[in-house]
Amino acid sequence: MESPEACSSGESSPVSPAAAAERPSEAAALRALVDRVRAGEVDAAREVRRLTRASARHRRKLAAAVDPLVAMLRSAAPEAGGAALLALLNLAVRDERNKTKIVDAGALEPLLGYLQSSDLNLQEYATAALLTLSASSTNKPIISASGAIPLLVKVLKEGNPQAKNDAVMALYNLSTITDNLQAILSVQPIPPLIELLKGGKRSSKTADKCCALLESLLAFDQCRVALTSEEGGVLAIVEVLEEGSLQGREHAVGALLTMCESDRSKYRDLILNEGAIPGLLELTVHGTPKSRMKAHVLLDLLRNSPYSRSKLQADTLENLVTNIASQIDGEDRGGKAKKMLAEMVKVSMEQSLRHLQRRASFA
């Protein structure tokens, strides 16, 4: 919704003397507030934070506070640094110009210091700030070159729950620069990523970003080895495939497909043994266009191998399997579909108890 100052149509309405006096008064008050920040007043930083929490207009009008807040961020006093950090975080939210202004003002160096703080609250705030700043395409290469990646992975391993969630999202933002993928892999992110996936809700935004990051990293053999060496690693992705959000499932099937395409003989049975087939079949009908396409390709790679249990009703499953079999060359596609279905049901009955026991061991 536009602020009253931005609205205009036809003839302008008369402005009352009181309203006319209010605007210069507000501008003067905001200038005075910036001067107080410049003088190092912690309460002024807190007031900037309050005003910019939910007001895009105040974020724009208080952009002049960025430089003095960054100076305050360097303060040796944790109270002042924390107040400045939270004010800068609010100034950056949904404001591209402020995001770049904050980085240009030199905020990264003190932010990286707070990432290493023993005060977990300050570490959390700094991680949230880097998440917000890394959403800017202009800032991404600068943050990447600053040495933030190893510190974010360290937070992913050791931070509090909120800091871990923000760290994985910041790493995902930075992973969109292809050259950063090797830098991320070099600091062993797979164990904490899998731990985060196991411990959270499969349909959460955090799970979405974990799977999106894994999908990119699995293009590298180093990541595939690390994932399959991690107990329950592939299973964690399969669970997102089954229970995740639409975006999470899209990235989960993409991650599994990347693995299988890299070495079908090495990863096909591993994926099957973790019960991926039911989720893949459902995805061919209920997924996004990308995930439906990826699910069909992966199912084609997995065919003619033992299939695991199915959660779907038999008639639905038969229709889905017929759909998959339509991709197979040759005659008697319907017969092949029925054969696939019978094989899946048989293997499902044999593997159901073992699979549930294995899944319970990771709960």
pLDDT per residue as tens digits for the range 205-263: 999 999 999 999 999 999 999 999 999 999 999 999 999 999 999 999 999 999 999 99
Answer yes or no: is pLDDT of 334 > 70: no
Answer yes or no: is pLDDT of 314 > 50: no
Separation in Å, CA 65 to CA 143, 180, 272, 316: 22, 32, 56, 60
Q: Residue 355's pLDDT band (boundaries 50, 70, 90)?
A: low
Answer yes or no: is pLDDT of 360 > 50: yes
Task: Say which CATH architecture domain 35-187 belongs to.
Answer: Alpha Horseshoe (1.25)
Q: Give pLDDT, residue 358.
A: 58
Q: Give pLDDT, residue 97.
A: 97
Q: Give pLDDT, residue 23.
A: 65
Mean pLDDT throughout 70-74? 96
Answer yes or no: is pLDDT of 307 > 60: no
Answer yes or no: is pLDDT of 123 > 70: yes
CB 235 within 8 A of CB 359: yes
CA-derived radius of gyration, the chain: 26
| Sequence ranges of the chain with CATH classification 1.25.10.10 | 35-187, 190-304
CB 302 within 8 A of CB 265: no
CATH code given to domain 190-304: 1.25.10.10
Using alpha carbons only, what angle is made at residue 360 by residues 355 and 363, rounded to the nearest 5 degrees? 135
| Average pLDDT across the chain, whole number | 85
Answer yes or no: is pLDDT of 291 > 60: yes
Residue 63: DSSP 8-state: G
Mean pLDDT throughout 144-171? 98
Separation in Å, CA 260 to CA 263, 297, 326: 5, 10, 21
pTM for the whole structure: 0.80
Token output for 348: 């499902």
CB 71 within 8 A of CB 81: no
Task: Kindly state the percentage of the chain with pLDDT values over 90.
Answer: 75
More confident residue, 356 or 200: 200
